[in-house]
């Protein structure tokens, strides 16, 4: 399912950042012709900038921070968001924007909330000491329920789970629901290659079977190989669909894996 069909930018752009980024400066129309669109390119190519501006333009809820439309860390991309036109074929039932660095804020917030609920449980135990067990259990019920729900969703030790990617995948499994539009900025950052493949499988299943649309900025060779996805290389202008196997990053990775000694020898040369 494709909800956002394309975005547009005026041809007469100002000579100020982020309009000076080559991929942005030359862009007038970008079509989303598949349920999964991947934005590739080196750091500074504009892929995250374009995605952030789109999230601001669509006023998407954000995971781990305030909504994109009110996020002060996105102030620099607001001029681009204001200049951007968006065309939605139909409205998604669910939507959100996620930057990988915001995920850790999300985990910390969950951990803080869980500790607050535990503190309330300790308070109730002290307050109801010597009173009936029934009365104490009734008073504890709401707090215990919140803790149980959080731990069932995200694991008992959220911060420890985040260190090896389990809660990151659990977050996606909980938040990505049918008929949704999801913007993800470098979601591979906390994930091992194996868990990146698990994320790819989840994205593919939700796109193919549950009418979801994904627009993802990524460096990951694994995510860039998503079957059926449209890949745009923001290091090339004007933007056009690219074959992921021919992306410079993919070619470099393939050559390195085939002949690591030649690369290492070159790095060691004076």
Whether cis (ω within 30° of 0) applies to the bond prior to 18 is yes
d(CA 194, CA 171): 17
Q: What are the tokens at 11?
A: 């041809």
**For position 29, what pLDDT does the model report?**
96
Alpha helical stretches, state H, 43-178 = 47-57, 78-83, 100-127, 133-154, 158-163, 166-175
User: Among all chains, which residue has been given the structure tokens 């951007």?
Assistant: 84
Query: Roughly what angle, to the nearest 10 degrees, separates helices 133-154 and 166-175?
Result: 100
**Nearest one of 165, 173, 180 to 215, comparing CA atoms:** 180
CA distance 158 to 167: 7
Ranges of the chain whose pLDDT falls below 70: 64-69, 104-108, 151-165, 263, 266-270
Report the predicted TM-score, pTM, of the whole model to 2 decimal places.
0.81
Nearest-CA neighbor of 47 among 215, 245, 193? 215
User: What are 205-255's pLDDT values in tens digits?
Assistant: 999 999 999 999 999 999 999 999 999 999 998 888 998 888 888 887 787
Nearest residue to 164 via CA among 187, 190, 188 = 190
Amino acid 162: pLDDT: 46
Distance of CA 258 to the CA centre of its chain: 31
Query: Kind of pairing, strands 36-40 and 213-217?
Result: parallel
């Amino acid at each position: 399912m494709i909800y956002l069909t394309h975005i547009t930018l005026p041809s007469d752009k100002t000579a100020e950042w982020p309009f000076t980024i080559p991929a942005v400066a030359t862009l007038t129309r970008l079509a989303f012709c598949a349920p999964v669109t991947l934005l590739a390119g080196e750091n500074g190519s504009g892929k995250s900038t374009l995605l952030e501006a789109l999230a601001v333009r669509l006023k998407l809820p954000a995971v781990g921070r305030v909504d994109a439309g009110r996020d002060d860390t996105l102030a620099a991309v607001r001029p681009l968001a204001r200049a951007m036109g968006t065309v939605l074929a139909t409205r998604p039932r669910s939507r959100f924007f996620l930057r990988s660095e915001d995920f850790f804020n999300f985990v910390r917030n969950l951990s803080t909330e869980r500790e607050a609920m535990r503190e309330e449980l300790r308070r109730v135990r002290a307050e109801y000491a010597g009173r009936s067990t029934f009365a104490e259990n009734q008073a504890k019920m709401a707090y215990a329920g919140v803790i149980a729900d959080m731990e069932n969703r995200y694991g008992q030790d959220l911060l420890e789970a985040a260190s090896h990617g389990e809660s990151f995948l659990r977050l996606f499994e909980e938040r990505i629901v049918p008929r949704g539009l999801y913007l993800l900025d470098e979601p591979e950052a906390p994930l091992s290659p194996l868990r990146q493949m698990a994320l790819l499988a989840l994205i593919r299943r939700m796109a193919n079977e549950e009418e979801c649309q994904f627009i993802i900025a990524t460096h990951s060779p694994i995510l860039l190989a998503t079957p059926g996805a449209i890949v745009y290389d923001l290091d090339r202008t004007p933007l056009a669909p690219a074959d992921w196997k021919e992306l410079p990053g993919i070619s470099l990775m393939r050559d390195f894996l085939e002949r690591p000694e030649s690369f290492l020898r070159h790095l060691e040369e004076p």
